[in-house]
Structure 1
């Protein structure tokens, strides 16, 4: 099969190209909807094809505007992308309230949809028809004119607020200036990359390549605390007001649609099913992780008290430093020793080699025009046939998205368009910490899901299109391949070309197992914050944050900070940060089907690729997992991981 060419990006005049691209997509969607409104009654398959044309066009415009607003180096392009993203959101809202289009879908003869959908044996057409009708109900199609108008206003305003919230985090890079002696403990290559200024002081920023090593290695506790305080007050106070309005509007929307609040509205289309179930899930994990978390916390605190006898706890300014110190002393694992085996260029090459062998793929480098010279691109081939294209944008720069995520550039649609995805991260250009390596594997898992799940007839089900509390599971599972000694020896080499010793990897794993329950408790704090802010709409968000951190996280609140203002997941994930632990339950169960002694074994890897990743969103996530495992997923493997077994 010959696929269409990938999306052609411009060499210059990005604003002109963006406007033309979005205008064409909006026009294509409008044309399809006109045909739906005006054509005589027809069979459901013909209606769905027109809907698919609209879906593909809106998705295309949404992807390119979302990506460019976060990665383009020119602020004018980022601003234009945000503006056009609002146009796309308005068009999507209007479609969701279009009574004539809804009637065309509702009244079409859906008899025999599955039989007509011969290319999708799992009745994807019937599933699409059901999902469209469900979406119309959730958009308020049965509400009165005044309510629909208010819902449209809310959607438009929340789009702007989401963008403002994200921009506030992206653009607020803070820093401290420290004396040379305050760099004691940091890696030599990091120090070399941070020369002192004319005043004799060194600038340390809140961007990841500065923040993570400084917080982990700097021996000067006051300097660590100063940087952590800056990091946890990014986008404050502006984003506090933005978030407050966003929470209120989400709640209003849910109640206008007949729900008890935003968590119920949001959870209805996820695996978990309801808002209260989120709270129950958080409490259940808090209970099973409590004893182990307290044990590890006490050990960490005891180590800190060797240096500071009067210390009463740990927080973000001390926990990572003492965790690293304890791992070095107890397990003989020095992260600075480990990182010398993880040169960025070798790690990136190793990632492609590992995933290529695992899933039967090849990566062909592409000299492609992109938005920045740092971006590297590859065509993805399976059985010699190009099935997609990937772009890796992996280093920080001014104005760029500050975290790590996979963005769509184009959703794959069978016989029409290749899937294209972008990995956006903020890694150093030289040596990487091992946790950065696992993050790269994690995010690449999303990218693979996007490409391998991109051969779909229906745009709605292309790529990472499953329930949102499943989407992290494939990426979390891929992290396991960054912990295997035999696999790491293929690309984890020091400057002399010597591979990382297997004994060191064994000790790294043992060290990583320390603090697992503490990590879970911190994640439960984030989950509870995400859920409770949307459930209760507290008058003082910082006050509620402090309360929830004290309840779930054993690490204390850093005085004077307002972490919620830069908690980016409150945008896209809203009340559903719990999904990271929900997905991790599934990821640990998925990995139990692989042989730890041979992670390249073809049978489970190809079965996983074909039954979990390739279907995209054509089936419920629980069914995909059950098809792969031969049973419904459960929490046993997660429990063993939590217990260190």
Structure 2
């Protein structure tokens, strides 16, 4: 949801500009609850006082008013991100609950400020003459945010808008909590582990009942669905994964979709996707549907070709099979890659020890972006979390601090994402970010390595772009359908033989062979068509459910899956109840593929034979990443490429 101010993420409780800002000092492990509670109270009071001062004693100039607004944005943003991060990662349920409350209070105050007619009147009356380009952009965006908040509506409508927004915050937290705490599992006999890597089997001993527990967490589920020979067990684990949040989240989603539609109507939009898309590159709800179908059509032929190959291989084991089922797709794709492309994922994973991959990632991104990572001996919220201070290699200038929280545990966020801890503001506070993932502590699948590079791309964007004057433009502050593009482009470094050879070594210390990496690249091309169709199923789901809010969520999910995916719906499942992107990305899950189109185009500027070319890498860092949200994404990309972005590079990749 968008209300002014944008809830920039959290940091320290700073009182004003400082010459040399230091990172936030986190509390000791046993002091989080009082810290969260106290900082919630102080930051709320600070933000309210700043808002009241703007109304009762308006600054004399437009610039001074924007500076006062920036101070409020910092305070509220610090509270918001602190709450959002620790509600998802802290090991103590009481702290997670207090952090949820902090995030809720930040959202409620943001809604209240966005509907404050006196506050709006101050900004609406500002004279932009004399403001520089960035201050003018900030004023324009602030006024747009007020408008989208509903400040111009009558009193009754404003009251209903506030009620809706506050309720949507609660629903979003409930939806996420149900997924986060909803890990499911199946029990299998030891012989049903046939096909799995030896280290995976060793890490999953049988219990007192003689059975092995397999959870829906990624380090369990991904290898199991990829390697386990037992079809029934693969089916059962997939069903468990696709019923997380079911049925509890069904009513939550239906209320959420209904309230978002009502909100859009009250604000003067035809549909919620129209409201959602207005501030994105795509601009309109109808364009979302058109983009989904454009990608789906482009992917159909390669998707059908590759599914036919899967089916042919499946019929070697089950001659009567007429379709490839979802629980078979990863398993038989792995067999095709092994048998037809000479890529054995179990051999590949022996080169990707977690510790070496993490260190290699830091070395690669440090070289590429001119950054140095220094381990920081500072308090963290769990012993598995590591912290690094980040500086620029050339001049030692502080860039910020990062935290890596990369392994699963009970009650933790289940997927992979970058969370802000502090939004950087020049002279005020350094950017700090947290990578939250769920990787194994031992050997990793190469897909995990790619995911780690992807998510780290968000972290780099947050740090490098986190040195703006205005909090509104700091870090990953571009349009939401562009934010994935820099991360998707960084994935390319996880496919380069020279890059991988610098850190991917087996137990004997031998680097992964370049010939194997080349075969991996070719094998990875297999399935990209049906992957794109599956992504369009997810995108259509997010778009259509917001348009229609169907009475029968399961039935509509089944229809959309049959329309877009080449794998049939699985009986007894309700995927939307565990689809966390329905809150956050809302109706805009299409953005992953939209960003990929741009990522493929941006990558075309790099020399495939020299991915570390400093001229290109530095220009990309400074032109695209370092500017944060100070320009529209299309302008950033055009400045980097020397032309507007286009569909050609993506279409060529898809057609290969």
Class of the TM-score when normalised by the shorter of the 2 chains: over 0.9
- Structure 1 position 4 matched with structure 2 position 21: yes
Query: CA separation in 1, counterparts of 2:84 and 2:39?
Result: 13
1:434 is matched with which residue? 446
Query: What are the residue-to-residue correspondences of 1:407-446 with 2, within 5 Å?
Result: 407-446=419-458
Equivalent of 1:284 in 272, 284, 294 = 294
Secondary structure of the corresponding residue to residue 526 of structure 1: helix
2:479 is matched with which residue? 467
2:614 is matched with which residue? 602
Equivalent of 1:395 in 402, 407, 411 = 407
2:14 is matched with which residue? none
Query: CA separation in 2, counterparts of 1:566 and 1:53?
Result: 37
Equivalent of 1:52 in 63, 67, 70 = 70
1:118 is matched with which residue? none
Q: How does the TM-score come out when normalised to structure 1? A: 0.98
Question: Which is further off, 414-423 or 378-387?
Answer: 378-387
Query: CA separation in 2, counterparts of 1:30 and 1:370?
Result: 30
2:11 is matched with which residue? none
Determine if contact 1:96/1:135 at 8 Å carries over to the other structure. yes
2:522 is matched with which residue? 510
Equivalent of 2:582 in 566, 570, 574 = 570
Which stretches of structure 1, 4 residues or longer, exceed 4 Å deviation after superposition?
Answer: none
Secondary structure of the corresponding residue to residue 407 of structure 1: strand
Query: What are the residue-to-residue correspondences of 1:22-41 with 2, within 5 Å?
Result: 22-40=40-58
Query: CA separation in 1, counterparts of 2:492 and 2:324?
Result: 29
Determine if contact 2:58/2:65 at 8 Å carries over to the other structure. no
1:85 Cα deviation after fit: 1.4
1:218 is matched with which residue? 228
Equivalent of 1:329 in 319, 325, 339 = 339
- Structure 1 position 542 matched with structure 2 position 554: yes
Determine if contact 1:41/1:108 at 8 Å carries over to the other structure. no
1:120 is matched with which residue? none
Equivalent of 1:130 in 134, 140, 150 = 140
Query: CA separation in 1, counterparts of 2:502 and 2:295?
Result: 37
Equivalent of 2:500 in 473, 476, 488 = 488
Q: Which runs of 5+ in 2 are unaligned?
A: 1-17
Determine if contact 1:3/1:387 at 8 Å carries over to the other structure. no
Determine if contact 1:3/1:386 at 8 Å carries over to the other structure. no
Secondary structure of the corresponding residue to residue 422 of structure 1: strand
Secondary structure of the corresponding residue to residue 84 of structure 1: helix
Secondary structure of the corresponding residue to residue 10 of structure 1: coil
1:22 Cα deviation after fit: 1.9
Query: CA separation in 2, counterparts of 1:18 and 1:489?
Result: 44
Q: Per-residue displacement from partner, 1:254-309 (whole Å, max 9, x unpaired)?
A: 00011011100000000000000000001111111111111111111111011001
1:263 is matched with which residue? 273
1:458 is matched with which residue? 470
Query: What are the residue-to-residue correspondences of 1:345-356 with 2, within 5 Å?
Result: 345-356=355-366
1:29 Cα deviation after fit: 1.3
Query: CA separation in 2, counterparts of 1:560 and 1:55?
Result: 45
1:587 Cα deviation after fit: 0.2
Determine if contact 1:97/1:139 at 8 Å carries over to the other structure. yes
Determine if contact 1:463/1:616 at 8 Å carries over to the other structure. yes
Determine if contact 1:42/1:108 at 8 Å carries over to the other structure. no
1:4 Cα deviation after fit: 1.0
Query: CA separation in 2, counterparts of 1:452 and 1:618?
Result: 13
Query: CA separation in 2, counterparts of 1:255 and 1:310?
Result: 51
Equivalent of 2:35 in 12, 17, 21 = 17
Determine if contact 2:171/2:256 at 8 Å carries over to the other structure. yes
Query: CA separation in 2, counterparts of 1:577 and 1:109?
Result: 38
1:617 is matched with which residue? 629
1:205 is matched with which residue? 215
Secondary structure of the corresponding residue to residue 572 of structure 1: coil
Equivalent of 1:341 in 351, 374, 381 = 351
Q: How does the TM-score come out when normalised to structure 2? A: 0.96
Secondary structure of the corresponding residue to residue 382 of structure 2: coil
Query: What are the residue-to-residue correspondences of 1:168-179 with 2, within 5 Å?
Result: 168-179=178-189
1:315 Cα deviation after fit: 2.4
Query: CA separation in 2, counterparts of 1:424 and 1:634?
Result: 32
1:31 Cα deviation after fit: 2.0
Q: Which runs of 5+ in 1 are unaligned?
A: 115-122
Query: CA separation in 2, counterparts of 1:94 and 1:79?
Result: 22
Query: CA separation in 2, counterparts of 1:264 and 1:26?
Result: 32
1:599 Cα deviation after fit: 0.4
Query: CA separation in 1, counterparts of 2:19 and 2:453?
Result: 30
Query: CA separation in 2, counterparts of 1:525 and 1:469?
Result: 17
- Structure 1 position 240 matched with structure 2 position 250: yes
Determine if contact 2:537/2:565 at 8 Å carries over to the other structure. yes
- Structure 1 position 319 matched with structure 2 position 329: yes
1:619 Cα deviation after fit: 0.4
Equivalent of 2:170 in 143, 150, 160 = 160
Give RMSD over aligned pairs.
Answer: 0.9
Determine if contact 1:42/1:109 at 8 Å carries over to the other structure. no
Secondary structure of the corresponding residue to residue 406 of structure 1: strand
1:308 is matched with which residue? 318
Secondary structure of the corresponding residue to residue 22 of structure 2: coil
Query: CA separation in 2, counterparts of 1:18 and 1:417?
Result: 19
Determine if contact 1:28/1:53 at 8 Å carries over to the other structure. no
Determine if contact 1:471/1:583 at 8 Å carries over to the other structure. yes
1:3 Cα deviation after fit: 2.8
1:66 is matched with which residue? 84
Equivalent of 1:84 in 99, 102, 125 = 102
1:40 Cα deviation after fit: 4.6
1:604 Cα deviation after fit: 0.7
Q: Per-residue displacement from partner, 1:102-150 (whole Å, max 9, x unpaired)?
A: 1111112210101xxxxxxxx1111000001001110111101010000
1:41 Cα deviation after fit: 6.3
1:15 Cα deviation after fit: 1.3
Query: CA separation in 1, counterparts of 2:321 and 2:151?
Result: 58
